[in-house]
Structure 1
Amino acid sequence: MLAQRTVLFKSSDTAAARTAAKVAATSGKEIIDLTAGEIWSDTAPSVRAGAIAAIDRNINRYTDTVGLMELRHALARKISAETAQPWSADEIAVTSGAKQALFNAAMVLLNPGDEVLIPAPYWTTFPAQIVLAGGKPIYIETRLNNFVPKVTDLAAAVTSKTKAVVVNTPNNPTGAVYDRDTLAGIAQLAIDRNVWIVFDECYGAFIHATCTHHPIVSIAPRARDRTLIVSSFSKSLALTGWRMGYLAGPHAVINAVKALQSHTTSNPNIIAQHALLHHLECGDRAFQARLQRHVANARELGLSILSALTWVPQPIAQGGFYFYLDLGELQRRAKVNGHELNADDVVTAFLMDAGVATVSGTAFGDPAGIRLSYGIELELLDKGLRRLIATLNELTFCLAKTPLSEEG
C-alpha cells in the first residue's frame, strides 16, 4: 500500500509532454519538440573549466549543507548587485535546482491548511509542492489582464489563512513580465496583510521588447524581511541538467532550510558548485549574451511566423522563451457551431498531424492555452511553427466557420 500523500500529486505534466514527444519519435516520424523548458546550447566555457579543474583537484567531499561558503558569498554579491540591497552568505541556500528551493520554502513556511495565492496560469510545480506541504493553493485568474494579476484580485482573495503569494516573473508559461506598479502593489499587500512573498525569477535573464525585470525587493525594500527569492542557473546559463539553484531570504528561514535539506539531499553536487563558483568569479558575460541573442532571434522569428494564425492572438512573449497561445476566441467560435474544444485536443492534433510536441494549458490550470518553447535551434523552430500553423488554421476553419457578424 502506498502512502496516502501519493494521491495528492502526479508526475509533472510538462515532463509527461516531453515523454510523449520521445515516444512519438520512436515511430520513425520526425517530431519537433517544443515542450522543454530549456535552451539548446553547449555548456558555458567558464562553467566547464571550473568543473574540470575541480575534478582534476580530486574534489569529492561534502560541503556545507546549503553550499560552499565561497559560492554563497559570490551569490550574495550577485543578488546584492541585482536588487540594490545588501545580502550576506548566511541569507543564501544553494539547492539542487530551483525546484528544491521552492519545496524547501513550502516546507518551512506552511502549516496544514495555510493558503497560498497563485496567479493562473501557473507552473504546475507550484500547487503540487504547496499541497505536499499541507497547504491549499488559491488560484487568481489573470487572463483578462494580459496574464498579470490585479492587486485588487489578490487582495480580495486574502483570508486569515493566507500565508504566502507566489510571484513568478517573467512568467512560466505565459511569458508575461510583471510591471513595476503591480510588484509594488503586491509588496504593499504582503506588508499590510502579513503575507510572505515567494519571488520566482528563474527567467529573469530573458526580457524582451520594452519590458524590464524588477526584483521585488529593489522596488519595495520594506518587503525584504518577508520575501524569499528563488532562482537558478538552469535558464540563464542553459544548465538544466546540472541542477543548480538557490534560495535567498531572512536568516531564520535559511537556517530552517538548512536543517530540512540536511535530512533530504544534503549539499548540492560539489562539482557543479565549484563550476558555478568559477563562473561567478572568472566568467564574463559573453556566453550569457550569446544565449540572450539566440533567444531574442528565436522570439522574433517565431512571432513573425505566428502572425499568420487565425483567431488566435499573437503571444505577448515579454520574457522567458515561451509562446503561449490563447485559444479562448477559437473555443468561443467553435462553441457557436456546436463544437467543444480544449487545449488537449489541439495538442494531440499538433503531435499526430503536424509532428510538433507542445504542452497543453491544462498542465497550468488553463484549458484554453498552449505553451510552445522557442529555446531550440532556429531551423527546427521555423519548421515546427509552420507545421503548427497549418494544422491550427485548418482546425480553425473546420470548427469555427461562422463569421462573427452572423452570430446572434
Structure 2
Amino acid sequence: MLAQRTFMFRSSDTAAARSVARAAAASGNEIIDLTAGEIWSDLAPSVREGAIAAIRCNINRYTDTLGLMELRHALARKISAETAQPWSADEVAVTSGAKQALYNAAMVLLNPGDEVLIPSPYWTTFPTQIALAGGKPIFVDTRHSNYVPRVPDLIAAITPKTKAIVVNTPNNPTGTVYGRDTLAGIATLAVERNLWIIFDECYGAFAHAPYTHDPIVSVAPRARDRILIVNSFSKSLALTGWRIGYLAGPSAVIGAVKALQSHTTSNPNVIAQHALLHHLETRSPIFELRLQRHVANARALGLSILSALTLVPHPAAQGGFYFYLDLRGLQQRTQANRCELDADSVVNALLMDAGVATVSGTAFGDPTGIRLSYGIDLELLDKALRRLTATLNELTFCFARYL
C-alpha cells in the first residue's frame, strides 16, 4: 500500500494540461499548445559555451551540496545588485530549479500544522509542497482586487498558527505585478506578526512597461531577515530543462537547507552549474534583452488580438508571459440560460473547437479563469489567439457537450 502522504498530491495540473495537448496532437488533430510555462528560444551563447567547456574539461564530480562556491559568490553579487543590499555566498543555495528551492524552504521552515497564506489564484505547486511539509495552505482570494492581495484580507486570514506568506510577483498564473505599496504592506505585516515571506520572483525579468518588478528586500530592507528569495533561470534564460535555480535567505536557513539537500538531491547538475557560472562571469545583456523583447512583442501581438473579445475582459498581462482570462461574465451569461459553465468546460471547448490547448484555472484554485502562455512562436501565437477569440465570442450556448 502507498504511504498516506501520496494522497496529498497528484501530478501537476499544468503538466497534465501539456499531456492532454500532446495526446490530442498525437491523434492527428492540429493543436496549438498554450499550456507550457516556458519560452521557445535557443540557448544563450554564454550558457552553451560554458557547458561545452565544462564537458571538454571532463568535469563530472560532486560539487559542494549547495553548489560551486564560485557560483554562489556570483549569485550573491547578482542578488546584491538587484536588491541594493549586500549578500554573501553563505546566504545562497543553488538548487535544481525553483521547485526544489520552494520545497527546501517549506521543509526547513514549517512544523506540522503551521499555516501558510497563499494569494489565490496560485501556482499549483505552492500548496502541494506546503502540505508535504506538514503545513496547511490558507488561500486568500484576490479576484475581487484585480488579482493583487490586500493587506486587510491577509490580516483576516492570520491565526496563531500562521507561519509564512507566499508572495509571487510577477504572478503565475495571473500575470499581475505587485506594486511597491503592496510589497511594503506585506513586509510590514510580516515584521509585525513575526511571519516568513517566501518571495518567488521567477518571472522578475518580464515586467512590462509601465510596470516594474521590485524585489521585496529592496522595498523593505528591515524585513530582510524574514524573507527567502526564490528564483531560477528557467524563465530569464529560457532554461526550463536545465533545472537550475537558487534560494537566498538568512545563513541559518541556508545551513539547514544544506543539510536537507545533502539527503535529497545533493548538488545540482554540475554542467548546468558551470554553464551558469560562465554566463554570469562573461555576462552580456544582449541575449536576455532579446528574450525580453521577444516576450514583449508576443504580448503586444496577443493583446491586440484579444482586444476583439466581446464576452471576456481583456487581460492586463502586466508581467511574465501569460494571459489570464476572467470568465466570470461569461459564466453569468450562461447561467442566465440555465447552464453551468466552469473553466474546465471552456478549456475543453477551446481544445475541441479551436484546436488550442490552455490551462484551466481550476489548476490554480480558480474555476473562473484560464491561463494562456504566449512564450511560443509568434506565427503560432497569432493563429491560436485568433481561433480562441472567435470561439470564445461565440460561446453563448449551453455547454452540456463539453461537461
Q: TM-score, normalised by structure 2?
A: 0.98
Q: Residue 192 of structure 1 aligns with which residue?
A: 192
Give the 5 Å matches for 1:3-402. 3-395=3-395, 397-399=396-398
Q: Distance in 1 between matches of 2:334 and 2:79?
A: 48
- 2:108 aligned partner, one-letter code: V
Moved over 6 A (4+): none
Q: Distance in 2 between matches of 1:134 and 1:47?
A: 38
Offset, 1:144: 1.0
- 1:105 aligned partner, one-letter code: A
Q: Distance in 2 between matches of 1:219 and 1:380?
A: 39
Q: Distance in 2 between matches of 1:181 and 1:136?
A: 27
Q: Distance in 1 between matches of 2:277 and 2:9?
A: 35
Q: Distance in 2 between matches of 1:311 and 1:21?
A: 25
Q: Distance in 2 between matches of 1:363 and 1:272?
A: 30
Q: Distance in 2 between matches of 1:392 and 1:324?
A: 14
- 1:398 aligned partner, one-letter code: F
Q: Deviations over 1:2-40 (max 9, x none)?
A: 111000000000000000000000111111000000000
Q: Distance in 2 between matches of 1:205 and 1:283?
A: 15
Q: Distance in 2 between matches of 1:310 and 1:14?
A: 27
- Equivalent residue of 1:58, what SS? coil
Indicate if the aligned counterparts of 2:206 and 2:320 stay in contact, CA closer than 8 A. Answer: yes
- Equivalent residue of 1:398, what SS? coil
Offset, 1:209: 2.6
Q: TM-score, normalised by structure 1?
A: 0.97
Q: Distance in 1 between matches of 2:148 and 2:209?
A: 17
Identical counterparts, % of pairs: 80
Q: Distance in 1 between matches of 2:14 and 2:375?
A: 15
Q: Distance in 2 between matches of 1:28 and 1:91?
A: 51
Indicate if the aligned counterparts of 2:311 and 2:392 stay in contact, CA closer than 8 A. Answer: no
Q: Distance in 2 between matches of 1:155 and 1:291?
A: 38
Offset, 1:390: 1.4
- 2:244 aligned partner, one-letter code: M
Q: Distance in 2 between matches of 1:146 and 1:210?
A: 17
Q: Distance in 2 between matches of 1:96 and 1:269?
A: 7
- Equivalent residue of 2:372, what SS? strand
- 1:95 aligned partner, one-letter code: T
Q: Deviations over 1:231-269 (max 9, x none)?
A: 000000000000001000000000000000000000000
Q: Distance in 2 between matches of 1:96 and 1:27?
A: 34
Structure 2: gaps of 5 or more residues: none
Structure 1: gaps of 5 or more residues: 401-408
Q: Deviations over 1:118-173 (max 9, x none)?
A: 00000000000000000000000101111000011101111110000000000000
